[in-house]
Amino acid sequence: SQPWPGPLPQPEILGPSTPRETWDGKYEFLLSCLGYCVGLGNVWRFPYLCYRNGGGIFLIPYFIMLLVTGLPLFLMELSLGQYGAAGPITVWKCCPLLKGVGVAMLIVSSLVSLYYNVIIAWAFYYLGSSFRRPLPWSCDAPWNADLCQVSGSRAGSAVGSGPRGDAAWPDATRGLGGHEQVLGVTHSSGLGDPGPVQWPLALCLLVAWVLVFLCMLKGIRSSGKVVYFTATFPYLVILILIIRGATLEGSLKGIRFYLSSDWSRLQRAQVWSDAASQIFYSLGIGFGGLLSMASYNKFNNNVIRDTLVIAIGNCCTSFFAGFAIFSVLGHMAWKKQVPVGSVAASGPGLAFVAYPEALSLLPGSPFWSVLFFLMLFTLGVDTLFGNIEGITTAILDEFPALRDWRRKVALLGVLCTSFYLLGLLLVTQGGIFWFTLIDTYSTGFGLIIVALFMCLGIAFCYGVNQFCQDIVDMICQCPPWCSHMLGYFKVCWAFFTPCLLLFTLIYTFLDMYGVPLRYGTYEFPAWGTSLGICMGVLTCLQIPLWAAVALCRESGTLSDRFQKATQPLHSWRTATAWDVAGDVIDVPFTITLTGSE
């Protein structure tokens, strides 16, 4: 029997079409997805969440959330893209009612791309500063002499001590000659006072966007080659830093702090919410990048195997990166004779304040700084590749006339130029306030709602049984273990995953309204918070808006319209489509019947 008993395609759909390009090899796809998922959050957020939420005990909720939320959603996004061979918007021909989910993914990716390359520009700035002697953020720099803490011998560092938590790192940036050029908060009074553009950073941002443009000039043909370096280099650096950290005095103190167990933390909802959000964001779910990259796979690629390799590899990277971070921070705390918690931080404060200060205490500190900031660059640029790929794929699939190479280059140039010009706001003297605002709200409740509707739509509108059959059709010779796992994923998609997403969403709302947004001691004004909420609302509004458009295009009663709007369009073509002879055609979405056939 045919795997999909839906309506047959219209005759005009079977006309000639441009074949969709595919990855040159399976390793390009795996490395691209791994590089996309393994980003800056694996280095600067996961270790912090570990020590804040009970140390090694945090791994229990972390891996539970991986099994129940991360893996099912990751497999869903990869399978949807590979089976439909289309971008985040066009792929919803399988269920036109949910086209707004794809548009929402496009908006989220655009907001993230706007500020994410600013982090890469910071890494460029620090990378260039690492070649200076002495390092601008070390105690050997004359302008830091009064800020250094001396304990016995000259063992201080220019980093300050802040309260333990996410807001600790801004306090550590005050008065530091090495950090003011990047974070510059002392020259701005708040969100409404951005001040002038810092042109050294603007130049670094321009270089970052030019590099992204050149690396993606030929789409996956060029970016697929670049990832052989950018996706593997961070692992080499993490391994080197772990080995070097193990030889330092006080490193075990940092590791014990990282992995100390507090079983009572498991009773707190905050711990489980942090685990769910970290899994959700570190895997890159709901941005459209995974879906876009999977759309260039060959139809019979084993998507379940890829899901396990990429997702588990990503989570293990987060765990081992913690050893590289806390062994060096433990050495820094030992030299300063202070608790490890007083030098630990999260976010940019760890990557651009605490850790560089710790590296400056090591012999040959410029070498270690260059290595570390090169790692940050490769971590960031891989994630940005995925975001830009998601945006361009969504636009090109919706407007096929732009697929001509010159028009694709022009589109990429317009996107990079637009993001650069808009990003100049984030490299002003008060740009860090705008960075914090966009970072907080662009990937907040809106992204969770996008993933929730994607999960519910596939499970209940498209049909969870049909979706599982689609995966079996792609894998062809499905091994027994794949069949057993599909049964598990089916239960997750229909019940467990939506429930956990709903729990995370509710906790996100409670946290958002209960705790005002702050940057250090600066509390964001009401109009700033409202602007941030509008970013999330803009994302969410796409779902009902495009659902209303889909319903208006149908005829009949509201019930009839809803039923029609949840049925796949006639142009929903896959490699399981059958030709007249009943043979399976192996090229998705590109079926060509000619007279000679």
Q: Which residues are annotated as a binding site for Na(+)?
A: 35, 38, 42, 282, 314, 379, 382
If one counts every other C-beta atom within 10 angstroms of the C-beta of residue 32, the result is: 28
CA pair distance 411, 404, nearest whole angstrom: 10
φ and ψ at residue 578, rounded to 5 degrees: -105, 140
378, 306, 289, 308: which is closest to 42 by C-alpha? 378
Assign 389 to helix, strand or coil: helix
How far CA 505 is from CA of 81, 317, 439, 518, in Å, comes to 25, 26, 17, 21
Listing DSSP states for 486-505 in one string gives HHHHHHIIIIIHHHHHHHHH
How far CA 92 is from CA of 69, 97, 100, 291, in Å, comes to 22, 8, 9, 11
CA pair distance 9, 3, nearest whole angstrom: 15
Residue ranges of the annotated binding site are: 35, 38, 42, 282, 314, 379, 382
φ and ψ at residue 248, rounded to 5 degrees: -90, 145
19, 214, 101: which is closest to 540 by C-alpha? 101
Burial-class residue 429 by CB neighbours within 10 Å (0-12, 13-18, 19+).
Answer: buried
Burial-class residue 557 by CB neighbours within 10 Å (0-12, 13-18, 19+).
Answer: exposed
- Residue 569 is classified by DSSP as P
Four-residue CA torsion sign, 332, 327, 274, 102: positive
